[in-house]
Structure 1
Amino acid sequence: MTTSAQDTILSARGLTKRFAGFTAVNGVDLDVRRGSIHALIGPNGAGKTTCFNLLTKFLQPSSGRITFNGRDITALQPAAIARLGVVRSFQISAVFAQMTVLENVRIALQRRRGDSFDFWRPQKVLAQFDDEAMRRVEEVGLADLAHAQAGDLSYGRKRALEIATTLALEPEMMLLDEPMAGMAQEDVTRISALIRRISANRTILMVEHNLSVVADLSDRITVLARGEVLAEGSYAEVSQHPKVIEAYIGGGHE
C-alpha cells in the first residue's frame, strides 16, 4: 500500500544507527498514515527500541531523514518535537507517586502551557488547570481515582495515568513504547480498549510484543529483523509472510 504525502504524518527514509562495531538499525524506510494505529514489531534484537528512540529523537541517527507533517525533524531534540505534537510514553511507567492522579495530569497541563512546575504557587492559581485535568482523567477511565495517590494505583492504572498525562500535552501523534509490558490480562484488555478509544482523532505508533494486541489494534504493521524492514502490511499479511514466520520461529519474540 502506498500513501500520499498528505496522508503520511511521520516518515523515515534510510534511517540508520551505528554503534561501535554494530549497526542496530540499517536503512529503515517507514511511513505512518495519519489517523492510523501502526505497530512496530520483531523478534529479539530486531532493532525496534533503537528505531523507536530514533523516531522520538532520544537517539540521533547516524544517517537518514525523519519528517513529521512534511517538516524535517531529524536534527531536533525530543522537547522540540513534543512541541510540534509528537509525544511518547515509556516502557516503564513514569508518574509522581506521592501526588494524586489529578495532580499528575495537572503538571502535564502546566508544562504544555509553558508554565513552570512551581509546586509552591498558590492553590488557587494551580486550580485553574483542574477542570481540564479532570477531563483527561475521565478520558482514561480514572475519574473515581482522581484524588488517589498515584503510587497506590495498580500497574495497569498507572499506565492509564501515564496516557492521561500524554494526552494533556495534546499530541497529534502518540508513540507508545510497549504499553502492555508486564500487565495481567485484565489490564491488557483495559488498556487496549483505551488505546482504541483515544485513537479516534490521533495517530498512534507503538512498539508492542503482545501479538494478540497487535492483531486486534493495528491498521498496519512494520516487522523489523536484524535492524531492517522484513515485511509490512496488515496483520493478516505479515503473519503469513514466510520470512516473518522464519524470524519468529528462529528467534522468539519479546
Structure 2
Amino acid sequence: MSEDIILSTSGLTKEFAGFTAVNGVDLKVRRGSIHALIGPNGAGKTTCFNLLTKFLPLTRGQIVYNGRDISREKPAEIARLGLVRSFQISAVFPQLSVKTNVRVALQRKRGDSFDFWRSERVLSSLDAEALRLVDAVGLSAFAELPAGELSYGRKRALEIATTLALEPEMLLLDEPMAGMGREDIERIEALIRKVSKDRTILMVEHNLSVVAALCDRITVLARGQVLAEGDYATVSKDPRVVEAYIGSGVGHGH
C-alpha cells in the first residue's frame, strides 16, 4: 500500500556564496501527520522552510506538493494551494482587537483585504467566523482586547488563528514554542494537537520534549543534510543524532 505523501522534496539544495546551507535533502511528509525538522543550530532547518515556502529560490532539487511540482512557484501561489507558513502572512496588528486581527485575515482569504467599506451584513458574517477561530485557539476571553496587550504565548495562538483563517491544508510552523514558558508551551502544544486533526503539520522546533510529545515523524538535519529519520524513540537513540546535539553544545531539554 503506497503511503499518502502530501509534500516531498528530492535533492533539495541551497547554496549561498561559498556555503551550502541545505545539501541534497530528501523529505517525505505523510498526509495528516505532525512531522518535525530538528537539528543543532546551523543545521539548515529554517533555510529548508524558506525553500518550501519559496522565500528563497532553490539552487537545485525539486519540491512536490499534492502531486504538483512547486519548485518554481511564487510564495503567494504556494499559500493559495494550501501550503501556509504560520507567521508568514500573519504579523499581528497590535492596536487592533484579537477578533479584528482574525477578521482581517479572513478578508485576505476572500481577496478583499483592503475593502473596509463592505456592507454590515458581510462584516457581521465575517465576525462570526472570526469569533469561531478565536474560540478554536482558546482566546475567546480576549476577543475584544488589543492584540498588543496579549502575553507572548497568546500572541502566538493568535498568529495560528490568523493562519487558520487562510484554510491551509498543510501548516508550516517555525519554532512555535520559541521563547515560551512552560504554561504557554503546554497551551500551544494542545493547540497544535487540536488543529492537526484535519491537516498536516511540518514544524521546526528546538524543544525536544515538545517534539517527543507531539510528532509522529522526525527528520534530523545536521550541516544541511539528513542525519536520521523516524519516530522520536528511534532518532533520539541514534548515536549520530546524540553526537550532533552534544557536539554542538545543545542539551537534551533544549
Same fold (TM over 0.5): yes
Q: 1:196-235, CA deviations, whole angstroms, 9 ceiling, x for partnerless residues?
A: 0110111000000000000000000000000000000000
Q: 2:45 aligns with which of 18, 36, 48?
A: 48
Give the % identical residues: 73
- In 1: Cα distance, 2:204 partner to 2:249 partner: 16
Q: What do residues 74-110 of structure 1 show as CA deviations (whole Å, max 9, x unaligned)?
A: 111111011000110139x820000001100001111
SS at match of 1:104: helix
Unpaired runs of 5+ residues, structure 2, are none
Q: Say whether 1:163 aligns with 2:171.
A: no
- 8 A Cα contact 1:90 1:178, kept in partner: no
2:8 aligned partner? 11
* 1:94 and 2:95 aligned: no
How far is 1:194 from its partner? 0.4
Matching residue of 1:234? 231
Separation (CA, whole Å) in 1 of partners of 2:114 and 2:206: 35
SS of 1:65's partner is strand
How far the C-alpha of 1:123 sits from its partner, in A, is 4.9
Q: How many Å separate the matches in 2 of 1:90 and 1:25?
A: 22
Which residue does 2:17 correspond to in 1? 20
Would you say 1:82 and 2:79 are equivalent positions? yes
Distance 1:217 1:143 in 2: 25
Tell whether the 8 Å contact from 2:51 to 2:57 is kept in structure 1 after alignment: yes
Q: Secondary structure at the match of 2:21?
A: strand
Partner of 2:137 in structure 1? 140
CA pair 120-97 structure 1, distance change in 2 beyond 3 A? farther
The amino acid of 2:244's aligned partner reads A
RMSD (CA atoms)? 1.7
Residue 191 (1) aligns with residue 188 (2): yes
Matched, 1:200 2:197: yes
TM-score by length of 2: 0.95
Contact 1:44 1:252 in 2 (8 A): no
SS class of match (1:201):
coil
Partner Cα distance (1:134, 1:56) in 2:
28
What are the superposed Cα offsets for residues 23-66 of structure 1, whole Å, 9 maximum, x if unpaired?
00000000000000000000011011101111111111000000
- Give the Cα–Cα distance (whole angstroms) in 2 for the partners of residues 223 and 11 of structure 1: 16
SS in 1 for 2:22: strand
Question: Does the CA contact (< 8 Å) of 1:40 and 1:48 recur in 2?
Answer: yes
